[in-house]
Each structure stands twice: as C-alpha cells, then as structure tokens.
Amino acid sequence: MEKFIEKMVDVLDSEEEITAETGLADLEEWDSLSVVSFMAMANAAYGKKVLPSDVKTAKTIKDLYELVK
C-alpha cells in the first residue's frame, strides 16, 4: 500500500498528504486527466487493465488500491 500511495502522489502531483483513507472528492487534483494517468499507471506498474467505470465507483485511495492489487 505504501508504494501504491507513492505512485498516486506522482499521478496526482499533489502537495497534500495522501493516505489510504483520503477521499478522491477531497483532492482538487483528481480530475479526468488523473483518472487516465491512474489507469496507465495501473497497467504499467501492476499489469492491470482498469476500466473507467471501476474508477468512477472508487471513493478513496484505498478503493483505487483494491482495483490493482
């Protein structure tokens, strides 16, 4: 989970502290470009093909982690 959060900080290019419990709606950096970047990172780093519909249901960083683990 720690490595995943590090990757998400890169994807979001965020100055805020991000934890597993961080709500995606609370992150102003979480936008359509971040969704595409997350999907590309999931594929490259974890070999997972994540669907946009799955990403839309995610509410927290932990939810995104569940999609790639």
- Claim: this prediction has a pTM higher than 0.75: yes
Note the pLDDT of residue 15.
Answer: 87
8-64: pLDDT as tens digits: 999 999 888 999 999 999 999 999 999 999 999 999 999 999 999 999 999 999 999
For the chain, domains (ranges, CATH) are 2-68 (1.10.1200.10)
CA distances from 25 to 40, 44, 50, 68 (A): 20, 25, 19, 20
